[in-house]
Amino acid sequence: MKKNTYRGMTVIELVISFGVLLLVLGLATALFKQAFTHVTLTTENMTNEQAARVAMAKINSSLSQASVDANSTDTNQGTPAPAVISVFPTATSTPGITFYRVYTLDPAAIPTGTTLAPEPQYYVHIIAYDAAAQQVKEYSMDYQTVYKVGGPSPAPIIIANNVTDFGIMAISPTEYQFQITVNNINMATQAEAPYTLVDNVHLMN
């Protein structure tokens, strides 16, 4: 009979092979984990920054349009000066700002010949921080029919989510400083530092 010349692996060779395989897999796993963590932190940081900048742009766009009633034909029911009604940045109250904004900037949509004041009609806007929901919200209501008579608050527009801090400071009657901190955590064990953005908003009037 012909003798089989093929030799199998010994136990020692098998153990060494498995050891080399485990070493390679371990290095690959460590590199993959490091790359995944880096991508997660980078994405988290970019998401926080983008959310803060978008929120600040919305606040700037809305508050910069705050104005007073400058129509001389209005009765004494027109909106008083200044454009900003109140700012509540103290630690004992929810940070927010209340201001007047004209109903529309479209001349064709402004009503004429009415005895209602103010003319053009104004809305009252409130931008406030909801600490429980970690959201910055904006409320918009009609001056005559809702705000003036103390009607129920309308449904808000959510400006930003995952907001851990929000503050407002009056620099002057026409300039206000906002600070917003966004902290959107994607991985609890590898959380990136919150992103804080500070910007000054100037009123147009």
Tens-digit pLDDT profile for residues 128-175:
999 999 999 999 998 878 888 888 888 999 999 999 999 999 998 889
Instruction: Provide the pLDDT confidence category of residue 7 given band limits of 50, 70 and 90.
Output: low
Task: Give the global pTM.
Answer: 0.71
Q: Is the pLDDT of residue 190 over 90?
A: no
Between the alpha carbon of residue 42 and those of residues 46, 112, 169, 184, 203, the distances in Å are 6, 54, 31, 12, 35
Q: What is the per-residue pLDDT across 34-77, written as a single tens digit (0 to 9) for each?
A: 766 656 666 677 888 888 999 999 999 999 888 876 555 555 55
Between the alpha carbon of residue 52 and those of residues 84, 135, 181, 197, the distances in Å are 23, 12, 7, 6
